[in-house]
Amino acid sequence: MKITILSLFPEMFSGFINESIIKRVIDKNLVEIEIINFRDYSPLNHKQVDDTPYGGGSGMVLRCEPIFECLDKIKTKESYIVIMCPTGNTYNQEKARNLSLKKHLIIICGHYEGFDERIKSLADEIISIGDYILTGGEIPAMVVADSVIRLLDGAINSGSLDNESFNDNLLDYPVYTKPANYRGLKVPEVLISGDHKKIAEYRESEQLRITKERRPDLINNLRTIHKNNMKYRGK
């Protein structure tokens, strides 16, 4: 897989691609990450990439030309273009899985007061990582890239992926390690009992409890999926 990120601040990605799991996956040749400064594609003097908005208003808006010119050079038939923008659909694990199947993922980072709306016509998908505003799309691009890369075959032990939050629309169960008793805080007895059936039941019940308490919306989604499946089977 290849991931190309268009950004005005490519140096922000130095630590991201040179540390931890991401670096190991790159070293295994499971993914290629390319960072492009789209300022290089500006046709204007001084490589200007922004301008004042038509109709008035505060701030500066990213111009069309640098993005269009850059994509003309780098996109292929296998490219899937994503724009990071607060107006996009909220990102989740299902979207991460879908993006991990793409051969060439292009992520465009916004900045300033946003994109000239015509740039969005280039996107296959517009994504937001949440209902808050950041100074630019670089951190959201890292979030998307990280969540996608870890799903690639060989990136992470498959058993670890199977037991993570948001699989089956549930949050993860609590985990513990040694010591069994620290400052009076004890590991639940069932986890040190050696009874694997009871451990599995405990973990499943904890997943449901935690999800109900912290993300009831996920439980509602789970119920909707179950109802739809029952309707489908009844046909």
- Are 145 and 170 within one domain? no
Examine the pLDDT at 233 and tell me if it is beyond 60. no
Percentage with pLDDT > 70 across the chain: 90
- Are 186 and 144 within one domain? no
| Residues whose CB falls within 8 Å of the CB of residue 98, separated by 6 or more in sequence, listed in order | none
Domain-located, residue 159: no
State how far the Cα of 126 lies from the Cα of 105, in Å rounded to an integer: 13
Examine the pLDDT at 214 and tell me if it is beyond 90. yes
Better-predicted residue by pLDDT, 231 or 8: 8
Please report the pLDDT score of residue 157 as a whole number. Answer: 76
What's the rounded mean pLDDT across residues 55-65? 93
Domain-located, residue 10: yes
Examine the pLDDT at 168 and tell me if it is beyond 80. no
What's the domain range around 189?
A: 165-234
Domain-located, residue 194: yes
Exposed e or buried b per residue across 80-119, where buried means at least 16 C-beta atoms within 10 angstroms of its C-beta: bbbbbbbebeebeeebbeebbebebbbbbbbbbebbbeeb
Residue 182's H or E segment, with its range, is: strand 181-182
Examine the pLDDT at 76 and tell me if it is beyond 60. yes
Tell me: cis bond preceding 179? Omega within 30 of 0 counts.
yes
Mean pLDDT (the chain) is: 91
State how far the Cα of 16 lies from the Cα of 176, in Å rounded to an integer: 28
- Are 110 and 181 within one domain? no
CA distances from 27 to 20, 32, 151 (A): 11, 9, 16
**For 4-42, how does the pLDDT look when each residue is reduced to its tens digit (9 = 90+)?**
999 999 999 999 999 999 999 999 999 999 999 999 999
Domain-located, residue 21: yes
Examine the pLDDT at 228 and tell me if it is beyond 90. no
Domain-located, residue 95: yes
Domain-located, residue 197: yes
Domain-located, residue 61: yes
Please report the pLDDT score of residue 190 as a whole number. Answer: 97
Domain-located, residue 160: no
Examine the pLDDT at 232 and tell me if it is beyond 70. no
Q: Return the CATH number at 184.
A: 1.10.1270.20
| Residues whose CB falls within 8 Å of the CB of residue 77, separated by 6 or more in sequence, listed in order | none
- Are 21 and 111 within one domain? yes
- Are 99 and 179 within one domain? no
| Residues whose CB falls within 8 Å of the CB of residue 145, separated by 6 or more in sequence, listed in order | 3, 5, 16, 22, 33, 105, 107
Domain count, the chain: 2
- Are 77 and 130 within one domain? yes
- Are 217 and 106 within one domain? no
Examine the pLDDT at 230 and tell me if it is beyond 80. no
What's the rounded mean pLDDT across residues 105-109? 98
State how far the Cα of 220 lies from the Cα of 110, in Å rounded to an integer: 33
- Are 144 and 204 within one domain? no
- Are 144 and 226 within one domain? no
Find the radius of gyration of the CA atoms of the chain.
22
The listed range with the strongest mean pLDDT (51-65, 103-117, 137-151, 213-227) is: 137-151
Please report the pLDDT score of residue 107 as a whole number. Answer: 98
Residue of 137, 82, 132 whose CA lies nearest to 109: 137
- Are 122 and 179 within one domain? no
What's the rounded mean pLDDT across residues 144-151? 97
